[in-house]
């Protein structure tokens, strides 16, 4: 919905021209990143006081559903550009909040021996869900097998209602079958402003965690940009039709699902650090090839190759952090994970907007490649004993969770 359908619709059909559409879209992505960066530490700190994570996750999911469904009202006219880009940004803000509680559940349902496989499988299943949605969108709505009116792009706007319903229905299992509520001691009244001081306290003396959070924030921004801008660049620079974008998205999601599952198994065998390093290097090299060879075929193949590794990096990053979290601080740390990530989430969209303004839409891709390269450079020196499977000198830093 957000990566390969509505982002393309907003930037290509709603906007007056391609460059205006991509710049406005990138600016709204920057705003969304700032909002999540400011809110995540408060939400995460509060989340560790909440007994029922599933209830909060449910409310945030409903807000995502509402933003997606509201995209139905975005007509193919330039005056709706800010509404369309804003709704997509709003959905991503609430999704970012929901991910704090979702990720925190990982430590409740896995062991050190299975965390990589469980995380990778879950991420891969999400991509398979995206495949099903893309098939329905391509055949039922874009090619209009459902016979919907095409005036005012009603068939395309109908995808928003379908995806909202899909998300609502598919979120039901975790609400009923997810891990039970955690017992909590009675705590003092929650102070939202104190959450920022607690964020500093949490990282004080934990240099390896701080190092990882900064590095992952940079490369995760590049990963998000891959799916955020892939469809836009395909349509505006390589001349992909709406149907071609959907089939490109279909191939990308299939590759991502399979790749995430395979790398999840590798994660359990050799640790998350090698997985993150290998996949980031491969993505940077592939991205450079796509930039140097401006051919549609290279974009197709390269895009699928990169997509096969995006989920792997995301999943292994999540497992690395989950392995070093102390019991009882899951929401707070994953809130910090979101905050630090969003604190630099302006980077890739800003670089994409800059390179687009300077060199045109196609070379906007350089912004994504440079973001991934910078994240790789910062992550490379990181060593965490027992987690990265590398030997490091002893430190006074808190050890990883027992059994890792």
Place of tokens 């928003």: 160
Domains of the chain, first to last = 5-177+195-380 (1.20.1250.20)
101 close to 57: Cβ distance less than 8 angstroms? yes
Give DSSP secondary structure letters for 163-210: HHHHHHHHTHHHHHHSPPPPP----PPP-TTHHHHHHHHHHTT-HHHH
DSSP for 218-236 reads HHHHHHHHHHHHHHHHHHH
If DSSP codes are grouped into helix, strand and coil, which group holds residue 85? helix
The secondary structure of residue 392, as a DSSP letter, is: -
Yes or no: say if 209 and 306 are a contact pair by the CB < 8 Å rule: no
Neighbours of 303 (CB within 10 A): 25
Half-sphere exposure of 274 (CA within 13 A, CB side): 13
What is the reported pLDDT for 241? 81
Quick one: pLDDT at residue 184?
59
pLDDT tens over the chain, length 404 residues:
666 678 888 888 898 887 888 788 888 887 887 888 788 878 877 776 666 678 888 899 999 999 999 999 999 999 999 999 999 999 989 998 898 888 878 878 888 788 888 888 888 888 888 888 888 888 898 888 898 898 888 998 999 999 999 999 999 988 888 777 665 565 567 677 777 777 777 777 788 888 999 999 999 999 988 877 877 788 877 888 877 887 888 888 889 889 998 998 999 888 899 999 999 999 999 999 988 888 888 889 999 999 999 989 999 999 998 888 877 777 778 878 877 877 777 788 888 888 888 887 778 888 899 999 999 999 999 887 656 544 333 333 333 333 33
pTM of the complete model beyond 0.85: no
Task: From 250, 252, 248, 273, select the one nearest 263 (Cα to Cα).
Answer: 273
Tell me, what's the pLDDT at 370?
Answer: 94
Tell me if 249 sits within 8 A of 398, measured CB to CB: no
Report the distance separating Cα 250 and Cα 127, nearest Å: 9
Residue 188 backbone class (left: φ over 0; alpha: ψ -120 to 50; beta: rest): beta
Q: Between the CA atoms of 101, 263, 310 and 392, what dihedral angle is there, to the nearest 10 degrees?
A: 80
Phi-psi region of 225 (alpha: psi -120 to 50; beta: other; left: phi over 0): alpha
Instruction: Give residue for tokens 């990882």.
Output: 212
- Report how far Cα 285 is from the mean position of its chain's Cα atoms: 21
pLDDT in the model for residue 272: 92
**Under 8 Å between Cβ of 30 and 349:** yes
pLDDT at 240: 83
* Distance in angstroms (rounded) separating the CA atoms of residues 85 and 229: 13
């Amino acid at each position: 919905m957000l990566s390969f359908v509505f982002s393309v619709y907003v930037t290509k059909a709603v906007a007056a021209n391609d460059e205006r559409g991509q710049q406005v879209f990138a600016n709204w992505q920057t705003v969304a990143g700032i909002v999540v960066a400011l809110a995540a530490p408060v939400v995460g700190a509060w989340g560790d006081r909440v007994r029922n994570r599933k209830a909060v996750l449910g409310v945030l999911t409903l807000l995502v559903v509402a933003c997606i469904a509201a995209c139905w009202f975005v007509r193919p006219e330039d005056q709706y550009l800010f509404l369309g880009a804003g709704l997509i940004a709003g959905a991503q803000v609430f999704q970012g909040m929901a991910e704090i509680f979702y990720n925190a559940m990982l430590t409740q349902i896995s062991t050190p021996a299975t965390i990589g496989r469980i995380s990778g499988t879950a991420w891969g299943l999400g991509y398979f869900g995206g495949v099903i949605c893309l098939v329905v969108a391509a055949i039922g709505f874009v090619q209009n097998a459902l016979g919907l009116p095409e005036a005012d792009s009603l068939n395309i706007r109908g995808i928003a209602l379908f995806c909202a319903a899909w998300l609502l229905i598919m979120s039901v299992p975790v609400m009923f079958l997810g891990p039970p509520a955690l017992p909590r001691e009675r705590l003092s009244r929650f102070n939202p402003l104190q959450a920022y001081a607690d964020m500093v306290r949490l990282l004080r003396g934990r240099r390896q965690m701080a190092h990882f959070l900064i590095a992952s924030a940079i490369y995760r921004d590049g990963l998000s940009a891959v799916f955020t801008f892939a469809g836009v660049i395909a349509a505006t620079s390589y001349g992909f039709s709406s149907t071609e974008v959907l089939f490109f998205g279909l191939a990308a999601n299939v590759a991502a699902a399979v790749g995430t599952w395979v790398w999840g198994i590798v994660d359990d065998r050799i640790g998350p650090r090698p997985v993150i390093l290998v996949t980031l290097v491969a993505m940077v090299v592939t991205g450079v090839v796509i930039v140097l060879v401006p051919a549609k075929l290279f974009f197709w193949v390269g895009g699928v190759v990169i997509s096969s590794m995006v989920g792997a990096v995301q999943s292994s990053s999540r497992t690395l952090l989950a392995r070093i979290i102390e019991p009882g601080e899951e929401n707070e740390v994953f809130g910090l994970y979101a905050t630090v990530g969003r604190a630099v989430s302006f980077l890739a969209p800003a670089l994409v907007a800059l390179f687009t303004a300077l060199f045109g839409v196609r070379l906007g891709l350089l912004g994504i490649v440079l973001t991934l390269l910078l994240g790789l450079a910062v992550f490379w020196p990181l060593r965490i004993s027992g987690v990265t499977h590398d030997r490091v000198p002893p430190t006074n830093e808190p050890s990883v969770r027992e059994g890792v």
